[in-house]
Amino acid sequence: MSSKNVVYKKICKDKSVGVYMGKRDFVDHVDSVDPVDGVILVDLEALQGRKVFVSLSCTFRYGRDDMDVMGIAFRRELYLSTRQVYPPLQDREKGIHTKTQAKLLRKLGDNAFPFFFEFPDNLPCSVALQPAPHDVGKQCAVEFDIRVFSAESQDAKVHKRSSVKLLLRKVQYAPESGGVAPCVETTRDFLMSDKPLHVKASLDKEIYYHGEPIKVHVNVTNNSSKSVKNIVISVDQVATVVLYSNDSYVKSVAIEEFGDSVAAGATLQKVYTLLPLLANNRERRGIALDGKLKHEDTNLASSSIIKEGVLKEVLGIMVSYRVMVKLVIGGEVGLEVPFKLMHPKPDAGESESESEPMSMVFQEFKRTYLKGMIGDDEEEEGNVSGGDDMAPKEK
């Protein structure tokens, strides 16, 4: 019984080069990052003697209009690595290939060449700040891409028709074992009151998955002479843009006023439930989102987990979450309970047997250049059906 693997392919306009990759999501395990690998298919006739290069880049872009200078959006390249693929600089047959690479090389033939990049462990994950509905231009985001191009040399001018770019994502998943369930408590004294107000808030666990309800346990012991008039609970997202200004954007992505009161000398023990979802925040500018590929949906950004010793200044956008519990007593008594919001690690075991035949389903992407953009040759990616004259034929 044969299995099917999706392979992403993209061909440049002059047909000289095409890129084939088995995946576009690469996992940051904190101590290491999945390597980036794929295969480049070249058309020797269309190359006309040019060389072929492949580069992996990470770019931080701040595209808000008020940061633009003379129409050019602020951007900074956090990482760039470029390799020559053709003519190969070493005997490719002696290299170690991944399973997908090996099968692609067998399927695509003699004009296919592998590439391989090791991800540095000090780069941010793919994340973007949601623009407002009326915003135009590029959003504030950390983006990764693979770019393949043919040119006379690595430093020569690259023509759009001879280059192709495929967006990637760097993602993190929740660790298999979470930390201690968070618990915060505080005691507040008041003038003209002999005894204090004590509040305790706790969660069931440290890590929650996207789409999972969050239960907040609240205990109030009100020995003061004041009355608690209302209890307001929110889930706050804190997105800190550390690269250029260390600005923090605090957004309540779920908030409820429960209307509970606690009279002087009374107590309250109650569990409140909140559900932070992007679906309820789609019109709000500045909400941090997980990086997405074109024409795919996404979700609220996952919490950032940083390797010890890495400089935060190079991490672009850092995201954290907290539950805020506020008791309204004339003024407010508040507690912050930190937690992590992430995706569960996908089930292992999706890899296929080396001896098992594979039917490759090729997903093609067509380039359409955005008009009026200044600087980098940005493009839209759209899913299209049909083949390509560089695509391998199914047997």
The tens place of each residue's pLDDT in the chain, 395 residues long, gives: 344 567 888 998 988 899 999 888 898 888 888 899 999 999 988 888 889 999 999 988 876 544 544 455 577 888 899 999 988 876 544 566 788 888 888 888 889 999 999 888 788 889 988 877 676 666 788 889 999 998 888 887 888 888 999 999 999 999 887 789 999 999 988 888 889 999 999 999 999 999 999 999 999 999 998 899 999 999 999 988 876 666 788 999 999 999 899 999 999 999 999 999 999 998 888 899 998 776 667 899 999 888 776 666 566 788 999 999 999 987 788 999 999 999 998 874 444 333 334 455 555 544 332 222 223 333 434 332 233 444 443 43
Sheet holding 267-274, edge to edge: 183-188, 197-203, 214-222, 267-274
pLDDT at res. 300: 93
**Which fold does the domain 183-342 belong to in CATH?**
Immunoglobulin-like (2.60.40)
Please state, in angstroms and rounded to a whole number, the distance separating the CA atoms of residues 256 and 60. Answer: 35
Q: What is the DSSP string of 62-122?
A: E--GGG-BTTB-EEEEEEEEEEEEES-SS-GGGS---HHHHHHHHHH-TTEEEEEEPPPTT
List the domain boundaries for the chain. Answer: 3-173+347-384, 183-342
Please state, in angstroms and rounded to a whole number, the distance separating the CA atoms of residues 290 and 27. Answer: 13
**pTM for this structure?**
0.79
> How far is CA 108 from each of CA 40, 103, 350, 360, rounded to the nearest angstrom?
9, 9, 23, 11
pLDDT at res. 367: 38
**Which fold does the domain 3-173+347-384 belong to in CATH?**
Immunoglobulin-like (2.60.40)
78-117: burial string, b at 16+ Cβ within 10 Å, e else: bbeeeeebbeeeeeeeeeebeebbebbbebbeeebbbbbb
pLDDT at res. 65: 45
**Residue 288 parent element (H or E):** strand 288-290
